[in-house]
Structure formats: structure tokens, C-alpha cells
């Protein structure tokens, strides 16, 4: 799972990596103001579900909630807004990528490229660092080696970062574990 570039369609502007709103499942009203890059491909006028650019995003979005995907052949990358990221910023990307390496298949190069295209890379990086830190904290208290369970931990954190309250797609974690992850991510 990784960050996707700024994408445009004929009618909708797809705005990754910036604080925005996500339309609720009913199609009315905001669902969350900050969201991870997987949900960045959602247009304000689309119902919750969005249309991911890649199969990787389709998998991550499916893990994070009830989503539907449709191919969009007319999508393209947006401009590089930050041609050079500071070394300290790249080090922070490497750090969260190392923590999430077994659940986030996006390459470091792709992640860096996507941050360069981001309108507000510092805000987006803060979201990813919080996801990674909460992931690491949970695993330090719960020795989990099963990749499927680790992916569900990650999916809950992605969902929590989007303000999700629906965990019906999470099958291997119990409600106490889900509540622990959500509370820790949200700082409750």
C-alpha cells in the first residue's frame, strides 16, 4: 500500500494527500477530514468506495472497509510539487516504511515519488508515522507472526485514520484488539 500520485479525471479532481472530506457511506456529509493516501483517490462527489489506481490500493482499500473498485484508464500522475525532499524527511519515510514493510508493498522509491507529488507532505507523513508507531506498539504487546493478522492490524489502523467505525471486514482480531488499536491511533 502506498501513496498514489495526484490524479485527474475529466469531471473530478482526485486529490491525494491533502486534508479533505470523504463522503459517508450514505453519500451525504463528511466522514473524515484527514485520511491516508489509500483513500486520497476518492472524489468529493463519489460515494465511499472510490476507485484506486492500482491493484495494491484495491487490496488495501478492501482491507480498510467495504469498498468497490472500477478501473479508470484515463488517470494520470500529477505534477512533482517538491522536487527535492530534505534528507531528514526521506529518513522519516524510510523509518515508517521499515516498520510497515511486511504489510505495505509500496517501494521506497514510489513512496518518495508520491510524497514529492503531495500538496502537504508533512501532514501526510505525520499520518503514516502515527499508523506505523501504533502498529509497532500493538505488536510489541501482542507477538503476532501470522501475516494475515498483521495485515488486519494494519487495515484497522488505515480505517481508524479515516474515521471508520465499521470493522465487519476484520475477522481475525477480536473487538478488544480493534478497540485498543483505534483508541491508540486516535490518542484516546
How far is Cα 72 from Cα 53, in angstroms, rounded to an integer?
A: 7
Task: Report whether pLDDT(78) > 50.
Answer: yes
| Statement: residue 129 has pLDDT above 50 | yes
**Separation CA 170–CA 1 (nearest Å):** 18
Q: Tell me which of 32 and 115 has the higher pLDDT.
A: 115
Q: Which of 159, 126, 152, 148 lies closest to 138 in space, CA to CA?
A: 152
Average pLDDT over every residue of 3-15:
36
Q: In this predicted model, which residue has the larger pLDDT, 102 or 39? A: 102
Whole-number pLDDT of residue 188: 77
Question: In this predicted structure, what is the pLDDT of residue 75?
Answer: 73
Predicted pLDDT of residue 1: 45
Task: Indicate if the pLDDT at residue 85 is higher than 80.
Answer: yes
* pLDDT at 97 exceeding the cut of 60: yes
pLDDT: which is higher, 123 or 49: 123
pLDDT, average across residues 121-150? 96
Segment 145-167 shows an average pLDDT of 95
Give the global pTM: 0.64
Beta bridge partners, 8, equal: 13
**Residue from 81, 86, 38 nearest 59 by CA:** 38
Q: Do the Cβ atoms of 115 and 85 come closer than 8 Å?
A: yes
Please say if the pLDDT value at position 67 is more than 80. no
Amino acid at each position: 500500500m502506498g501513496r498514489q500520485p495526484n490524479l485527474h479525471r475529466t469531471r473530478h479532481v482526485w486529490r491525494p494527500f491533502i486534508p479533505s472530506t470523504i463522503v459517508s457511506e450514505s453519500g451525504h456529509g463528511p466522514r473524515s477530514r484527514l485520511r491516508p493516501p489509500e483513500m486520497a483517490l476518492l472524489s468529493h462527489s463519489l460515494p465511499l468506495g472510490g476507485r484506486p489506481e492500482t491493484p495494491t490500493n484495491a487490496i488495501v482499500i478492501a482491507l480498510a472497509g467495504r469498498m468497490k473498485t472500477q478501473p479508470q484508464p484515463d488517470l494520470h500522475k500529477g505534477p512533482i510539487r517538491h522536487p527535492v525532499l530534505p534528507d531528514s524527511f526521506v529518513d522519516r519515510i524510510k523509518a515508517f516504511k521499515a516498520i510497515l514493510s511486511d504489510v505495505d508493498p509500496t517501494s521506497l522509491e514510489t513512496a518518495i515519488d508520491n510524497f514529492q507529488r503531495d500538496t502537504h507532505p508533512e501532514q501526510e507523513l505525520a499520518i503514516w508515522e502515527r499508523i506505523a508507531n501504533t502498529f509497532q506498539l500493538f505488536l510489541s504487546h501482542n507477538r503476532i507472526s501470522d501475516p494475515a493478522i498483521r495485515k488486519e492490524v494494519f487495515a484497522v489502523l488505515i480505517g481508524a485514520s479515516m474515521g471508520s467505525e465499521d470493522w465487519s471486514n476484520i475477522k481475525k482480531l477480536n473487538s478488544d484488539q480493534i478497540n485498543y488499536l483505534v483508541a491508540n491511533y486516535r490518542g484516546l
